Structure 1
Amino acid sequence: MRTEVPRKHVPHITDREFDELTFGSEEPVLVFFGSRRCKICRELFPVAEAVAHDFRGRLQVYGVNADRYRHLFNRLRLKGIPHMVLFLGGEVKVRIGGYHPRQALADKLEEWVPAEQPGNGQQPRQ
């Protein structure tokens, strides 16, 4: 059984930071493209926070305002919001559109995100 996630902010990044934090990262990165005007996006944001909590030490999670940074959204050829993009080794690996419950999203990410390595100092997932 999963514990409640403390309210923890998923940092929103700008277009100036985007390439360095995604394409330039060797760590797995999940970027959540959404908008305040989008009801489903507002419902998905707590799921993104939960995933950030569940995958801490294994995955960086960022948010991007799809209205403000539409050119990033278009550059990745995304269709509709909400949309999540998983980067591995600086490459786009998976695009996930629409709402997904916490467990369904976690299951999908488990297929791609490497497991924690023993002795790496990370706390085990609860």
Structure 2
Amino acid sequence: MPSTNPKSTPAPRPGTPLTVLVDAEFARDLTVLMRTGMGAAQAVGEAVNIVAGAYANAWQTGRIPAGVAPKIVGFDIAPPSTARNESPCAAQGCKRSVTQPVRGRPRRYCSPACRVRAHRSRKVTER
């Protein structure tokens, strides 16, 4: 069993520039991450965050001794969330969802047509 690395170096301080040699494999992997719209620095940060999270989890759960690099053999990907910033339309009988704005008043209806339908329905019940 591998032992912890006695020659580990401290991590650079936040804000310190980091120089990395970009070989063909690194460039290929970086290109894949950047297809999501991330910049190079953000893509590297995301990749490091994922790997560091896996290491920390392996150490915290005791599956691997702290300081020993675990071998990552798989991963799981969650499907894109459709529930984020969405709520059901308030119009009776409508099954669509309403995408909520980041700021401002929450929307109640999925479309102007549903808003008018709900208004007319309320007016009929008030009579």
On whether the aligned pair clears a TM of 0.5, the verdict is: no
The structure with more helix, counted as a fraction of residues = 2
TM-score (norm 2): 0.22
TM-score (norm 1): 0.23
Larger Rg belongs to: 2
The structure with more strand, counted as a fraction of residues = 1
Which structure has the higher relative contact order (CA within 8 Å, separation 6+)? Answer: 1
